[in-house]
């Protein structure tokens, strides 16, 4: 039996997110999407139970993140990616496509989850959909 399991900090972050009314998304230390809550489903266009965990490259491809000037963003250039690689909090806005096909402008606060002073086990991103421009 494969007994590997995520770090407790990631497990608890995930259970915390289930209770938050703010859209929240969690990636692990490899950048894989491991959870987003019900509030995030409204912004992403599909529920976590429908999508499940996603490899870093796959969720990037699905949501097509871009700068506000429509420049494509790689996984490493999104707020979550920067928070993971540079181990610091990031606050920024970008454009993405929901799985319902609708384009959205979102503002994200992403911060690394440290389980030990020298160990990051993932990133928690809390985000808001910016009101559509008139």
Binding site for another protein (CB under 8 A): 1, 3-9, 11-12, 14-15, 18-19, 115-117
Least separation in angstroms between residue 97's CB and another protein is 26
Write the DSSP string, the chain: -------HHHHHHHHHHHH-SS-EEEEETTS-EEEE-HHHHHHHTS-HHHH--B-HHHHHHHH--B-TT--B--GGGSHHHHHHHHTS-EEEEEEEE-TTS-EEEEEEEEEEEEEETTEEEEEEEEEEEPPPP-
Q: Cβ closer to another protein: 102 or 114?
A: 114
Least separation in angstroms between residue 116's CB and another protein is 7
Q: Cβ closer to another protein: 28 or 82?
A: 28
Q: Cβ closer to another protein: 8 or 68?
A: 8
Least separation in angstroms between residue 37's CB and another protein is 10
């Amino acid at each position: 039996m494969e007994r590997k399991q995520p770090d407790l900090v990631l497990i608890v972050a995930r259970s915390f997110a289930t209770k938050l009314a703010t859209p929240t998304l969690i990636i692990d230390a490899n950048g894989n999407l491991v959870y987003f809550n019900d509030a995030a489903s409204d912004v992403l266009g599909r529920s976590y139970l429908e999508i499940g965990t996603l490899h870093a490259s796959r969720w990037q491809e699905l949501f097509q993140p871009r700068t506000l000037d429509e420049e494509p963003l790689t996984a490493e250039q999104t707020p979550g990616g920067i928070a993971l690689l540079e181990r610091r909090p990031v606050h920024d806005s970008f454009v993405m496509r929901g799985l319902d096909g609708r384009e959205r402008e979102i503002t994200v606060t992403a911060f690394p989850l440290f389980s030990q002073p020298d160990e990051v086990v993932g990133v928690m991103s809390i985000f808001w959909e910016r009101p559509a421009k008139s």
